Amino acid sequence: MAQTDEFLLQLRSANPIDTVMSSYVTLIKRGHNYVCACPFHSEKTPSCTVFMDTQSFYCFGCGAGGDVITFTMKIENLVFAEAIKLLAQRGGVTMPEFKGDNREAKRRTRIYEMNRLSANFFFLNLIKGNDKRGLKYLTSRGITPQTVKKYGLGYAPDSWNMLYDYLRSQGYYDDEIVDAWLCARSAKGRPYDIFRNRVMFPIVDMRGNVIGFGGRVLDDSKPKYLNTATTPVFDKGSNLYSMNLAKNSPEKKMILAEGYMDVIAVNQAGFDNVVATLGTAITANQAQLLSRYVNEIVIAYDSDGAGQAATQKAINHFSAVGVSTRIIRLEGAKDPDEYIKKFGSVRFKQLIEGSLDANNFILDKCEEGLDLNTEQGQVEYLNRAAKELAKIEKTIEREIYISRTAKKTNISVDVLKSHIDAQITKSRFGEKRTEWKNIQAAVNPIDKINPEARDYPKESKAEEIIIYHLMREPGDCEWLKEKISPDNFVTPFNKKVYSSLLGILNNSSFFTISMLADEFSPEELGKISGIGAKYHGMGHNRNSALDCINTLQKFNKISAVDPSFDDIQKALNSKRK
């Protein structure tokens, strides 16, 4: 066994997939395997299965799949080399020296290093630089020196090239500085600093890497806040500000604020369980991330119209991942920062404890713009409220809010309940219709990765069984190589998979899906894992593999004699559809 293969085997043994995945999701035992709600898309019914005998996972909902290494790559947004390093540290396995091509890992490492140096550059410029505008701004906002240090706050000088010159002096090249989104290029191609005359907020991931920056202007120029764009190490829709600190909080709930200064003010007031999005509304990915740590979110958005609209969107995202939501009403202040300055941390704590649950918040929103003293206002309110009440899944919970709503309008509880029951019945009919459409789509799905499979269903199935056999029985590599060549495969994707498997298993006695990580995208790896999931436990052996080999050889013989056979086959399959 090659050194690399031996290491991967040790790595998998030290990091059982159920142990690793259980630190991100709740696993439910089902027979010999586990199921869970997929961490890569929103769902209420678990569709992700963890196969213990193959140490792999596959989501039948979104198609994500792989082994413990590919799972770590996907959930932590890492490349292969970074994922195995993380797992090696986790499992106490010594990392060997790899001779392979780790260009992407090196590229990301260089960006992490540039970001760390830049954060230090901004920090020192804030503390020791001649321009004191950044320090004066933070002092005016009541930020203490301890908080400045805790968050690594800094100041980007009002210069076009100070950061650029510094990074060049540290051995970094123009292209990679631009790649990190620390500099941009002028029309003439000259790099210039992106962040200028701004208070800087380093964004740190949960492993302590500086992955990006937010910068706030000190004048009236636009944009007020400027955030790092997407880079190889940063995606603003998948990260949260201060999550690196909040994840260690003993609190069972998380406070979600709207911006950097709100987070810093709340944290400084003694609440370390606070995070914020990065210049955008909460995303499904961020909701998924928070659901791994807490089961309740307290939303502390601004009291203006935009903040309230963002609250409604956040409630929907958290509901989709099974996280309950409460909402703070900021009376007498526009945001948490101002509220704490006016009323103090004790009052803010009371505000959290008295926060509204999501249902009360939504029902209160139904009253906006209506006069409940008029019949017309009451009818409109009841129509709005009924739609929201019908969405509450738990019967007892729904009954409580129906009673509350009926009292508010002096309407009979039975009449309101009857109206809502009709809405629920209608909604369920629509859901069943959607479910039926999904079943139809699953019976004859559109395969974006291997579209030719629809034209050759019999042959593609034979190819998949051969691939499955090779993944389950790597020792049969030489036997299969003698029996059938990749050129005998009909569909291009399966041909590529089979060819790659023959190559990597030529000198290996075991297989794990991450061995294919250099050649296939995460979506393609999911497709390959899906092949394993589809035929799992069906007892395929050499005889069934031989039957599939005969199917492909028969097809190739007929095609060789009559080239038009290929077109006839496509036409027949098209008519069947």
Pairing of strands 296-300, 324-327: parallel
Pairwise CA distance, residues 164 & 189, whole Å: 14
Q: What pLDDT does 351 receive? A: 93
Is residue 488 within 8 Å of 556, Cβ to Cβ?
A: yes
How open is the CA angle 71-72-76, to the nearest 5 degrees? 120
Tell me, what amino acid is at 476? D
Helices (H) and strands (E) in the chain, counts: 24, 16
**Residue with token string 């019945």:** 425
Model confidence pLDDT, tens digit, residues 215-263: 999 988 889 999 999 999 999 999 999 999 999 999 989 999 999 999 9
Q: What pLDDT does 394 receive? A: 80
C-alpha distances (whole Å) from 309 to each of 59, 303, 368 are: 33, 10, 13
Pairwise CA distance, residues 473 & 509, whole Å: 9
Give, for all 577 residues of the chain, the pLDDT tens digit.
455 778 888 999 999 999 999 999 999 999 999 999 999 888 778 899 999 999 999 999 889 999 999 999 999 988 888 999 999 999 998 887 765 557 888 999 999 999 999 999 999 999 999 999 999 999 999 999 999 999 999 999 999 999 999 999 999 999 999 999 999 999 999 999 999 999 999 999 999 999 999 999 998 888 999 999 999 999 999 999 999 999 999 998 999 999 999 999 999 999 999 999 998 889 988 998 999 899 999 999 887 777 777 888 888 889 888 899 999 988 889 999 999 999 999 999 999 999 988 888 888 888 888 888 888 998 898 889 888 888 887 888 888 989 988 888 888 888 888 888 888 887 766 655 655 555 454 444 567 899 999 889 999 999 999 999 999 999 999 999 999 999 999 999 999 999 999 998 887 778 889 889 889 998 999 999 999 999 987 777 889 999 999 999 999 877 665 555 555 555 555 554 4
Pairwise CA distance, residues 123 & 126, whole Å: 5
Which residues, at least 6 apart from 547, have a Cβ–Cβ distance to it below 8 Å? 462
Q: What pLDDT does 103 receive? A: 83
Structure tokens at 74: 């996907």
C-alpha distances (whole Å) from 220 to each of 137, 216, 217, 225, 307 are: 14, 10, 7, 11, 22
Pairwise CA distance, residues 435 & 432, whole Å: 5
Structure tokens at 114: 């540039």
Question: Could you tell me which of 246, 262, 249 has the C-alpha nearest to residue 333?
Answer: 262
Q: Secondary structure of 502-565 in the HEC alphabet?
A: HHHCCCCCCCCHHHHCCCCCHHHHHHHHHHHHHCCCCCCCHHHHHHHHHHHHHHHHHHHHCCCH
Which residues, at least 6 apart from 150, have a Cβ–Cβ distance to it below 8 Å? 245, 267
Is residue 300 within 8 Å of 330, Cβ to Cβ?
A: yes
